[in-house]
Amino acid sequence: EPCSLGKIIIPYIKFYSRLTFCAKMTIFCDTSDLNSVLNRCPKTHNPKRSSRNSRYYDINEFKKMLNKTLLYHQGLKISNIAALSERQLNQKINEIAKQDILKASFMKFISSIIEINIDEFEKLLAEAINSYGLEKIYEEILIPILEKIGLFWQSETICPGEEHIFVNIIREAIIKNEKQDIKRKKPLLFLLFLCENELHEVSLLLARYIIQKCGHKVIYLGQATPIQDIILLTRKLPNINYLLTSFVAPIDSKTLNEIIEALLSTQKPIMIIGRQVKNISFPKRRNLNIFTDIGEFKKFIYELA
């Protein structure tokens, strides 16, 4: 019968990498393309049944689904995809990998996360950065992957510890690739920080990377910084030109407005980035710069005198 990939249960699969995990996994996927591939290629997959007659797929079957979805996105008809043997499927994927590394890499990244294959994830990330550069990879691969990691965590596909493994690999890659391409006689000074209860610093680290690459200076405070400390620092260091923070964790409008008002009291221009920017209605205030994506932020920094 038709099966929705809205909820695929993969129970008690052991994954081996540097650590062995045995976890009951639930993957939520609302992608209609993936549903189409599964429902129109039913004979090419081998679902198992639980004691309660729930349908589930092991990791190898799930990887086949990812590969077939990639072919579907490349324009192949589902009927043609269904006719492929496993060997032919792998050949097609390898051909795509040669032509479009980014699309193929994304599926490989997801597979390495599901399998908790740390070595493979690190290898893929290093190769992608070397081929395309950190900024392009962040926009086209890492942002979607971070969103997937958050989704996997919410659906208990991976535990918080596993989430931290991959987020910290990305974090270390950004730090490792930091460099300064432009020398400035009068560089601007940016104060970067995360507010209290905000621990997700990957986007803040990328902001530091972009700012320093453009020849400006950064004071990096990192996670969970009390607002009063920010206000005190701006008084002690009047040469700070910009304050920059990121919102990734959910935050209520009352708390957000209190933070913004406190930051505006410093009389410094404020820059806000992060995933929650698209979900929050910010007040229109002078000195408040909101960036909905990394491209907007890059453009702003590159155009600074």
Q: How many percent of the chain have pLDDT more than 90?
A: 25
User: What band does 1 get if pLDDT is binned at 50, 70 and 90?
Assistant: very low
User: Where residue 95 falls among pLDDT bands split at 50, 70, 90?
Assistant: confident
Neighbours of 237 (CB within 10 A): 11
* Low-confidence winner among 2-11, 119-128, 253-262 (lowest mean pLDDT): 2-11
Q: Above 90 in pLDDT, residue 29?
A: no
- 189-303 fold: Rossmann fold (3.40.50)
Are the C-beta atoms of residues 141 and 106 closer than 8 Å to each other?
yes
Rounded distance, CA 99 to CA 301, Å?
32
Region 116-130: mean pLDDT is 89
CB 225 within 8 A of CB 253: no
The predicted-structure confidence for 188-235, as pLDDT tens digits, reads as follows: 999 999 998 888 888 999 999 999 989 999 999 988 899 999 999 999
What is the residue extent of each domain of the chain?
8-176, 189-303
* Rounded Cα–Cα distance for residues 88 and 71 (Å): 12
Residue 41, pLDDT score: 60
Instruction: Quote the pTM value.
Output: 0.67
CB burial readout 23-36, b (16+ within 10 A) else e? bebbbebeeeebbe
Res. 171: pLDDT tops 80: yes
Q: Cα Rg for the chain, rounded, in angstroms?
A: 22
Contact assessment for residue 249 and residue 150, using Cβ atoms and an 8 Å cutoff: no
The pLDDT tens digits for 43-84 are 556 667 767 777 666 667 767 777 777 777 677 777 788 788
- Given CA atoms 255, 257, 263, 265 in this order, what sign does their dihedral have? negative
* Ranges assigned E (strand) in the chain: 8-16, 20-27, 48-49, 55-56, 189-195, 217-225, 242-246, 270-273, 288-290
- Residue 220, CB half-sphere, CA atoms under 13 Å: how many? 16
